[in-house]
Copies of this chain bind each other. A is one copy, B any other.
Amino acid sequence: MELFYSPEVSAGTCRLSPEESNHCVKVLRHRVGDLINVIDGAGTMYQCRLLSDNPKAAEASVVESNPGWGAHPYSLTLAVCPTKNNDRYEWFAEKATEVGVDRICPVIGDRSERKVFKTDRLHKIVLSATKQSLKALIPEIDEPVSVREFISSVKDDDSLKLIAYCFEGEKERISIRKALEDNRSEKVIVLIGPEGDFSPEEAALAIGSGFIPVHLGPSRLRTETAAVTAAEAMYFHNI
Which residues of A come within 8 Å of B, CB atoms?
70, 72, 91, 95, 98-100, 132-135, 175, 177, 217-222, 225, 228-229, 232-233, 235-236, 239
**Quick check: B99 and A225 within 8 Å, CB to CB?**
yes
- Are B225 and A98 touching (Cβ within 8 A)? yes
Name 19 A/B residue pairs within 8 A (Cβ), A-sorted. A70-B218, A70-B219, A72-B218, A72-B219, A98-B219, A98-B221, A98-B222, A98-B225, A99-B219, A99-B225, A132-B220, A132-B222, A133-B221, A175-B239, A217-B235, A229-B232, A229-B235, A232-B232, A232-B236
Closest CB of chain B to A101's CB: distance in Å? Answer: 11
- Copies of this chain: 2
Residues of B within 8 A of A177 (CB): 236, 239
CB distance from A84 to the nearest CB of B (A): 13
Q: Contact at A134–B220, with CB atoms within 8 Å?
A: yes
Specify which chain B residues have a CB less than 8 angstroms from the CB of A236 in the assembled complex: 177, 217, 232-233, 236
* Cβ–Cβ < 8 Å partners of A135 in chain B: 219
